[in-house]
Structure 1
Amino acid sequence: MSQTALLVIDVQNDYFPQGKMELFCAEQALKHINRLEDLFIKREQPIIYIQHIANQPNATFFEAGTQGVALHSGLRVKTDSIVIEKHYPNSFFQTTLKAELERLNVDKLVISGMMTHMCVDATSRAAAEFAYQPTIISDATATRQLSYSDRTVEAEDVQTACLSAFQMFSQVVSIEDYLK
């Protein structure tokens, strides 16, 4: 029997106010992620939480042993929840994610989390390559402004550009459209 799983990527304290890498609209994204969690819990469908733990010596956030690396307390994580640690943007790379999805007979992924332009991007592309038919919930993701050379790209524009590109390999919908 095939099924759909919810993937919640890197919803960790460092991305929220007072964190080391606060994101634009992180609180709003969390509220939408909570709605997804409630739906998946009600349907008894799997939820997999991804937790990034930096293993680079010069890491500035998600440092092991800090409060910032912890999954946000607003999530519906329970003691028996599936939590997979990762050290790279792609949640499949050097983790047990693919094996866990196979064990659960998952063939479709609903993807939410942070940062849209990094870990959501890398994981969603890998999910498509593994034929998991990803659906990305646009307003259940968050990002930040980026700079290159003398130019700054505002967070809203980063978000729009990423979500636009994701349409090439996945379905991208708002929380309201997904819940219909």
Structure 2
Amino acid sequence: MIDVQNDYFPGGKMTLSGANEAAENTRLLIEKSRKINMPVIHIQHIATQEGATFFLPDTQGAEIYASVKPIKNEKLIIKHYPNSFRETDLLKYLQSKNIKNLVFAGMMTHVCIDATVKAAKDFGFNCEVIADATATRDLEVNGQQVKAAEVQKALLAALNFFYAEIGTTQEFLKQP
């Protein structure tokens, strides 16, 4: 679970399109994972770079969203870059638990999900991204606006090409 934090929700400093729906689906994924004793790893971004405008240290916006907060014995990893492996103990932790398959949910699809999934695949993990448990935002390129739905579709299609299988919350919930 990557960066489901308050600043991404209405009233936050970097509101995403579909954040509420993605958080609800992430909650369902976490509940199912807990029931089947699948490890749940929470990633929290704390912005430490100069000029950062959201996920600032010691702010409510940087806190993990209430419905998906970690419980006792769940791993919490603090990161400072989009790639959840960069300068964290994530890789060492996964290796120590002999984990080979990763299921991703969280935010922002076009930054932290993208960077972390690609790194995970490069480290040899099998990756699945739960599409409806991720969220992004409108972007701009060369003066053209790109709506969040198109950003989401393009990023997930690109990941699906090599880096990950793309699934849905309902597909995940139906698995034994």
**TM-score (normalizing by structure 2):** 0.95
Q: Unmatched 5+ residue regions in structure 1?
A: 1-7
Matches within 5 A, 1:101-120: 101-120=94-113
1:34 and 1:76 in contact (8 A); partners too: no
Q: Aligned equivalents of 1:62 and 1:179: distance in 2?
A: 30
Counterpart in 2 of 1:14?
A: 7
Q: Aligned equivalents of 1:80 and 1:45: distance in 2?
A: 12
Structure with the higher fraction of residues in helix conformation:
2
Q: Aligned equivalents of 1:172 and 1:105: distance in 2?
A: 23
1:139 and 1:175 in contact (8 A); partners too: yes
2:110 and 2:155 in contact (8 A); partners too: yes
Alignment of 1:134 with 2:131, yes or no, is: no
Q: Unmatched 5+ residue regions in structure 2?
A: none
1:23 and 1:144 in contact (8 A); partners too: yes
1:137 and 1:172 in contact (8 A); partners too: yes
Counterpart in 1 of 2:160?
A: 167
Percent identity between the two aligned chains? 43
Matches within 5 A, 1:9-158: 9-158=2-151
SS in 2 for 1:120: helix
> How many residues are aligned here?
173
2:29 and 2:172 in contact (8 A); partners too: no
Output the aligned Cα RMSD: 0.9
Counterpart in 2 of 1:176?
A: 170
Q: Aligned equivalents of 1:158 and 1:147: distance in 2?
A: 10
**TM-score (normalizing by structure 1):** 0.93
Shift of 1:76: 4.2
